[in-house]
Amino acid sequence: MSNPASSIPWLPTLSRDEARSTSHRASWLITVCIFIFSSALAEQEAVKSVIELAKRARDSVVTLISEREVAILSGLPTDLQRNSAQYVAGDLRIQNKLQRTLASGIVFDDAGHVVTLGSALAPGSRYYIKPRGKRRREVQIIGSDFITNIAVYKGDTAGLVPVVLARNKLSVGQNVLAIANPFGLEGSVTSSQIAGLDRFIESNHHAYSGLIQLTTPLNPGEMGGLLVNQNGEAEGMLSFSYGGESLSRQPNISFAIPFTRVDRIARQLIENGKPIYGWLGITVKEPADGNGGALVHSVPDAASPVKDSILKDDLILRVDEQEITHPLWLQSLVLSSVPGTEVELTLLRGGQDGQQEIKQKVMLLKAPDNPPLVQILVEPVFIGASLTSMTEEIRRTLGFGRRGGVLITETVKDSPAYRTGLRPGDILIALAGKPLTSHQQCLRLLTSVSKGFHVDFYRDGLFHSVMVEGAPSMRASRATYEKVD
């Protein structure tokens, strides 16, 4: 039988090899098309999965609001005015203002508990939660922990969904979602990735260990928000952003506290009213040569189970695989751990044969109620006043010729300072019998005084003395000394 195709002059005749090559090309094109189509379907399914995940997780996040009435001293020269030759000092006056702070919070359980970052809200306030799209509800603070910076509130969480703790370990590069309320914009969802694990960061009054580093920065109001994995499980609580040398409002990267730690501390605050810390039973200091590590300053007593493992002048280099670059790192790492945990210490110990590295396994103890802490990691007493150091311009404006002193620029209504009669415009001269020279010095004094102490101050040409009954507060280190916008 003749080939029909050979009778059609415009249809080319293919050899067997050419036909085989054409068939292979066609098969390759079909495979590529199937791959592209399958990838598009997979991407579409992944997008749907993220959308569904975000919908569920958003019901576990609320806006936390603190409100307090403050009296503010206005009329002081600003930095811009001081640099202007035309500036003339105006009349000083006191203005009353409702001060509001926003943060994010995570629904912790079915009993109405909400967790957030302890330093996110101002003290001396009334507190509220606002679920997405609903009216706000008043809550009460149950407890807060200055060391880990975790706080628990309780109120009506009906209709909200408690978070589920993640079961698997995080990995660097893993995709995660951050759900929070930046600037009060409820239920905002941000896609991020895990940039690093077990990070150590020191801020002005906190040292954090074991942090989760994220690839995206945080905005005001996102602190205390939720970090979830692809299964919608809680991996962390958004804590703060970091911009270069210090915490900044224009940050580059951000961090989250692992939710395993949040879960443990929150449960302890709910059940016992206070957290339980790990403890080595030693005090440490920074080595004189500044080469890193934590130098043992005092050793455990004779009854301690670790008395033979750690000696005075040992240099602690590592805890398990974590390098210790500063005593604060060691302190934060140990305090954040569970008593009874076994850790391996790498020590540099001197002897007759010179220094040698040794390894010792020890069991972490339970910390005492008031453990001795390194440097400034001590909670200041809250007095409810914002202070500023006296400058020459302020002295001239107020007609105050003496050196020293600290100016009150704000007081919180019903705070310890307010109840004792201290008001904006008063100049604090001495605290607990010690002359004041700057607000930084005042902060240091407030970390060491008892709750009741004398304050000497100057007002309208006269000197006065009052007894202030301070109160511990998670926000004391900031709210007492810095204006909260």
The alpha helices in 123-226, defined as continuous H runs, are none
Mean pLDDT for the stretch of residues 286-302: 78
Pull the structure tokens for residue 252: 């580059």
pLDDT of residue 476: 33
Counting residues of the chain whose pLDDT is more than 70, the rounded percentage is 74
The alpha helices in 188-341, defined as continuous H runs, are 259-272, 327-335
Asked if the model's pLDDT at residue 399 lies above 90, the reply is no
pLDDT of residue 293: 86
The class that CATH gives domain 59-72+92-276 is mainly beta
CATH superfamily for 381-479 is PDZ domain (2.30.42.10)
Q: Which residues contact 173 (CB under 8 A, 6 or more apart)?
A: 193, 194
CATH superfamily for 278-366 is PDZ domain (2.30.42.10)
- pLDDT per residue as tens digits for the range 194-235: 998 988 887 655 678 889 999 888 888 888 999 998 888 899
d(CA 366, CA 240): 28
- Where in the sequence of the chain do the CATH 2.30.42.10 domains occur? 278-366, 381-479
Mean pLDDT for the stretch of residues 37-54: 58
- Where in the sequence of the chain do the CATH 2.40.10.120 domains occur? 59-72+92-276
pLDDT of residue 479: 29
Asked if the model's pLDDT at residue 378 lies above 60, the reply is no
Buried residues in 393-423 as b, exposed as e (16+ CB within 10 A): ebbebbebeeebbbbbbbbbeebbbbebebb
Least confident of 28-32, 72-76, 208-212: 28-32
Asked if the model's pLDDT at residue 243 lies above 70, the reply is no
Coil/strand/helix, residue 351: coil
Could you tell me the pTM of the whole model?
0.73
